[in-house]
Structure 1
Amino acid sequence: MSAVATAGLVVAGLSLAGPATAGGGRPGTEDLNRWATDTWRSLDAMTDEQTGLPADNVTGDLETPGDYTSPTNIGGYLWSTVTARDLGIITDDEARSRLSTTLDTLAGLERNDASGMFYNWYSPTTGEKLTTWPDSGDTVHPFLSTVDNGWLAAALRIVREAEPELATEADALYDSMDFGAFFDPAGAAGLPAGTNRGGFWDAAPPDCSVEAPMYNGSGETAYYTCHHYDTTVSESRIATYLGIANGQIPATALSGTHRTMPPGCDWAWQEQLPHGDYRTYDGVEVWEGVYDYDGMSFVPSWGGSMFESLMPDLLVPETKWGPKSWKLNHPITVAVQKQHGLDETGYGYWGFSPASDPFGGYAEYGVDIAGMRSDGYTSDAEKTDVDVDRPGCTTGTNPSPEFGDGVVTPHAAFLALPYDRKGALKNLHGIEDELDAYGPGGFYDAVAVKSGTIAERYLSLDQSMIMAAIGNELTKDTLKDYFVDREMEQRLRPAMKQQVFGSSWGSGNGHHG
């Protein structure tokens, strides 16, 4: 019987297993420990005992895991295992055994030899690279994703520090991954420095691709995505950080992404017309643009979702290393999400991010006005689009809409813990107690607040974000301590420290647009 199976089991009044009371006696600590224990139960249910690979998802009853996995899922499972150990949910020996099993499997997975990168889809039970989707039989064109490899590499950094007995195996995998393979020195159109592409195929796909010699100088040919990761507030920045820390890409990559799209009517397709200033970093001129919401100014993400903004902050000490950028932007991002859910829409709950759709499948949720994408991620099931004026350019077609059945996802609220602990806990208690969106593996993935429709399943990615957020909250950012070493700090921190976003709290009494 595993430690998870015995959690909460009591014999003769003695608990056989269960979480340590990490975090001291602060209000909410007991609930955070309970939520972490239940969340870990879902990750345990997803994971194949023989391979140590987690499925992408599992049904709400924890009985039926999915039949594919990705580097992000594997990375999230690795740091969740470390967190479960640090919170006392599993023993040191169990954690070490689990981590060792996963590392052994990773060492044998098929990879792209010229970059050391992992493909995007594998079978969690066999470790085989997928070339057809298990459910439909449709063809999979094996792809190597920049951001997914970033999350796996990030987790390997954590394992090597958190479990020294496995450092050699973790380092061997990590050191073989070359993020220079993703970095286009020419960058995206209209940007002043190089940036990453979304990834590549090692054989020509049927859709759009750019054939080019691999950027790392390996001499191999790659078929790159036609798009770059060209926005700053994106989960993809984890790969940029790692490339800089490893010396594989230049620190100027932080200037090769848009804070907002440039001002002016040529860019009036974006959600708002930004305001801001040009600043120069290491000879590179950057448009430091911001959007507005309720008197607050902030650097938006592409879709207006919480995980784009805050997922990298789980592992990277962004507010410490970016005192004039992320330290300002992160709490304002949380405030925008909260204001939208509670005040503008009247949902009564908040936390908008891509998640399982309560009405079937998967959907991208966010605060539309807080994302650059003009037909952006919406916060309700009706996909209510906000379209405001771009003064001097266009007139908004729907500046003050009536919102419908808002869809919130608990992982987004957990990401807000460092910036509004009290508000996040209150929100989560409501989702658990009033909306009843809680099951044997912790919070269900999403819930539509008006109809009460619940997505009764668990996603590996979202559960691993919850584990990391709780772990950081209760252990004072231990995951960040594992992730960072002196070399990373020396290469990355100065580049982040000089960034100055235009984010500000402002008057707080206006409205968006």
Structure 2
Amino acid sequence: MVNTIPRRTLLTVPLFGAGAALGAAAPAVAAPLPTLSTAGRPAPAGRARAGGSGRRGADRLLRRWAQDTWRSLDAMTVRSTGLISDAIGADLEGHSGNTSPTNIGGGLWSTLIARELRLITPGEARHRISRTLGSLETMEHHEPSGMFYNWYDETDGSVLRSWPGTGEPVVPFVSSVDMGWLGAALHVVAEADPTHRRRAKRLFDAMRWDVFFDRDVDASPGLTVGGFWSEDPEREGTELRPLMGDIPGADVWYHSEHHYDTAVSEARMVTYLGIMTEQIPAGAYYSTFRTFPPGEFSAEMPPVGEWTEHEGVPVFEGAHTYRGMEIVPGWGGSMFEELMPDLFVPEASWGPGSWGRNHPLHVRAQREHGLDEAGYGYWGFSPCSDPHAGYREYGVDALGLNPAGYFSDAEETDWHHDQPTPAFGDGVVTPHAAALALQYEREEATENLTRIEEELGAYGPGGFYDAVAVRSGVIATRHLSLDQSMVLGALGNVLLDEQIHEWFGTDEVAASLRPLIAQETFRAHG
């Protein structure tokens, strides 16, 4: 998962598994995994199809998906604690024995979406949020920074010290990206639920985002680290350092090589939170790569672009060329790197010359890869449950900077700009990637999800299963709470006229972030 590059280093991790990627725990999905299915199933009779009766029929379809998705999220939630499990099987029974700040945040914003879609009453939403906040208020965490550890037992809120199912030791780790999603959720709760505004703000205001901001790097003014351990993990590459941000407290162990170094990354949520709270400088938004500058690092594809400067930071505004498009790539070429922060920050409208160009192009590129280049018949590639194993990173190799590649198929078919027609194998699509695309290609993404449900049978009582290998037909018949929260968040933004954007993008936040994002023009067109 980790690729070391001279001068700067990049870290890529599963959304809910940063601690695991850095060695804090075992795989993100607790063992044993639910059984995998190898046979597609037709959709139950009477269900609304995308064609329906125009837009109204399409809305009914999306609402049905939202209702079923909420059913799985509801089943994953422990009533006594309000904490949500990391994963659940297709039967919607039991709990995985682990949760993370990302999962908890996903449970909070999903509850708000369920309220707005009238899947639950306002009173039930208040009770659910109250239980979750109550657990957070009493859970052990890293008090000097206000940050929570990456793995807890969802049944009682205790910090995990051994991994469920295997007993492997877990050293408490604080993950930057995972805390980004909990922080975003608490900010949204404070705006969307007046009853709990003070409680949510108290938790949010205690969080110090500069604890993740490393100024001791060549990239000025600094970069986001992957996180830190509160105890010695006895791992190579870690070093004992004082808490960053001049925060009083005990020393912690940072991994000196693990920094987020790309603009198209889930870690930009941490940057947004740090900037809007005035804990890290605005220039941090521009210290990450759009592409590697020409000749600086070994890359699969020569970039196109030019140098400029924003907020006093030199920026190479570069892009990769793919199928006649110029696109700013991510690290792995996955949909969540591109679009998950956009669930909260209205990036396309605040940055019409940057994200307003790149987001639609990334969606188009993923669609064309799945349908035209690889010929899978389906599309939507992002880290997810591996239908053939446990968990794995999938993406479109051409849309990533990672020399090792995130691949769209189980065979890891390599792609090179000078080899335009490779033979792709058993492609793995994940519905959360297609759901994120709804905000940019609603009709195409709806058709794709309908076919994943009806033709591939990757659907059950709790909504879409986490992933399906399209040629072998093997289905990961389980749900991951974070992926389901992305599905429900995307459906909520589409059905509720960008409601999450409205909650997150307050006047104060817009004044801080919008002028910053609006400065840039990506080298992105197609």
**2:427–2:469 CA contact under 8 A, matched in 1:** yes
In 2: Cα distance, 1:178 partner to 1:132 partner: 27
> After superposition, where does 1:233-248 map in structure 2 within 5 Å?
233-248=264-279
Distance across 1 between alignment mates of 2:524 and 2:285: 17
User: Is contact 1:407-1:449 (8 Å) kept?
Assistant: yes
Pair 1:430 & 2:471 matched: no
What SS does the aligned partner of 1:412 have? Answer: helix
> In structure 2, the residue corresponding to 1:335 is in which secondary structure?
helix
Q: How does 1:30-45 map to 2 (within 5 A)?
A: 30-45=60-75
**1:451 alignment partner AA:** S
* AA matched with 1:382: E
How many Å separate the matches in 2 of 1:411 and 1:419?
Answer: 14
Match of 2:360 among 322, 328, 331: 331
Deviations 1:424-482 (A, max 9, x none): 01101100111111001001000011111100000001000000000000110111111
- Assess, with a 3 A threshold, how the Cα gap between structure 1 residues 258 and 279 changes in structure 2: closer, same or farther: same
| CA positional deviation for 1:192 | 3.4
Q: Size of the alignment, in residue pairs?
A: 470
Q: Which residue of 2 aligns with 1:296?
A: 325
**1:89-168 map, 5 Å:** 89-168=119-198
1:317 paired residue number:
346
Superposition deviation, residue 25 in structure 1: 4.7
Deviation at 1:411, TM superposition (A): 0.5
Residue type at the aligned position of 1:132: S
1:282 aligned residue? 311
- The 8 Å contact of residues 328 and 524 in structure 2, kept in 1 or not, is answered as yes
> How many angstroms apart in 2 are the aligned matches of 1:314 and 1:463?
13
Distance 1:342 1:475, change over 3 A: same
Equivalents in 2 of 1:64, 1:117: separation in Å? 28
Residue 70 (structure 1) aligned with residue 91 (structure 2): no
Note the alpha carbon deviations across 1:246-304, whole angstroms, 9 max, x for none.
0111100011101111212x522x23121111011122111111101101001101001
1:442 counterpart residue number: 463
- Distance in 1, matches of 2:416 and 2:252, equals 39
Give the structure 1 partner of residue 220 of structure 2.
192
| Mapped contact 1:192–1:286 kept (Cα < 8 A) | no
Distance apart, 1:124 and its partner CA: 0.3
Structure 2: stretches of 5+ with no match in the other structure: 1-53
Paired with 1:295 and 1:257, the residues of 2 have a C-alpha distance of 25
Q: Would the aligned equivalents of 2:373 and 2:421 in 1 still touch at CA under 8 Å? A: no
Kept in 2: contact 1:84–1:90 (CA 8 A)? yes
1:382 pairs with one of 398, 411, 424: 411
Counterpart-to-counterpart distance in 1, 2:221 and 2:323: 33
Aligned residue number for residue 418 of structure 1: 439
Q: After superposition, what is the alpha-carbon deviation per residue over 1:4-34, rounded to whole angstroms, capped at 9, x for unaligned?
A: xxxxxxxxxxxxxxxxxxxx95441001000
- TM (norm. structure 2) is 0.88
- State the distance in 2 between where 1:125 and 1:35 align: 27
Which structure 2 residues correspond to residues 347-496 of structure 1 after superposition, within 5 A? 347-389=376-418, 400-496=421-517
Contact preservation (8 Å) 1:271, 1:371: no
Deviation sequence 1:74-125 (CA, Å, 0-9, x none): 0001000000000010011111100000000000111111100000000000
Does the alignment pair 1:213 with 2:242?
yes
Aligned AA for 1:299?
V
Q: Which residue of 2 aligns with 1:203?
A: 231
Any residues of structure 2 matched to 1:248-263 within 5 Å, and which?
Answer: 248-263=279-294
Deviates more, 1:272-281 or 1:118-127: 272-281
SS where residue 93 of structure 2 aligns? coil
Unpaired runs of 5+ residues, structure 1, are: 1-23, 390-397, 506-513
Aligned match of 1:175 in 205, 212, 219? 205
Q: In structure 2, how many angstroms separate the alpha carbons of the residues matched to 1:251 and 1:320?
A: 19
Q: State the AA in 1 paired with 2:448.
A: N
Give per-residue Cα distances to partners, 1:214-241, cap 9 Å, x unaligned: 1121233222222111110001100100
| Aligned with residue 346 of structure 1, among 355, 358, 375 | 375
TM-fit CA distance, 1:399: 5.4
Cα RMSD, aligned residues only: 1.3
Cα distance in 1 for partners of 2:221, 2:361 equals: 27
Q: Give distance in 2, aligned partners of 1:134 and 1:419.
A: 39
Q: Deviations over 1:178-207 (max 9, x none)?
A: 1011111234x4x33312111111222222
C-alpha contact (below 8 Å) 1:368/1:376 kept by paired residues: yes
Local SS of the residue matching 2:321: strand
Letter matched to residue 220 of structure 2: P
Q: Deviations over 1:335-355 (max 9, x none)?
A: 110000000011000000011
Divergent runs of 4+, >4 A: none
What secondary structure, in the 3-state scheme, does the structure 1 residue paired with 2:439 have? coil
**TM-score normalized with structure 1 length:** 0.90
Q: Residue by residue, what CA displacement relative to the aligned partner does 1:138-179 show, whole Å, maximum 9, x if unpaired?
A: 111111011111100100111111110111110110110010
Counterpart contact for 1:309–1:333, Cα < 8 Å: yes
Secondary structure at the aligned position of 1:267 is classed as: coil
Partners of 2:220 and 2:284 within 8 A in 1: no
Alignment partner, residue 501 of structure 1: 522
Deviation at 1:388, TM superposition (A): 3.9
Structure-2 separation of matches of 1:324 and 1:241: 18
Write the letter of the residue equivalent to 1:198. Answer: G
| In 2: Cα distance, 1:263 partner to 1:196 partner | 23
SS for the counterpart of 1:285 is: strand
CA contact (8 A) 2:282 2:311 kept: no
Q: Residues 283 and 312 of structure 2 are in contact (CA less than 8 Å); yes or no, is this contact kept in structure 1?
A: no
Q: Name the CA distance, whole Å, in 2 between partners of 1:88 and 1:67.
A: 30
Q: Distance in 2 between matches of 1:55 and 1:400?
A: 42
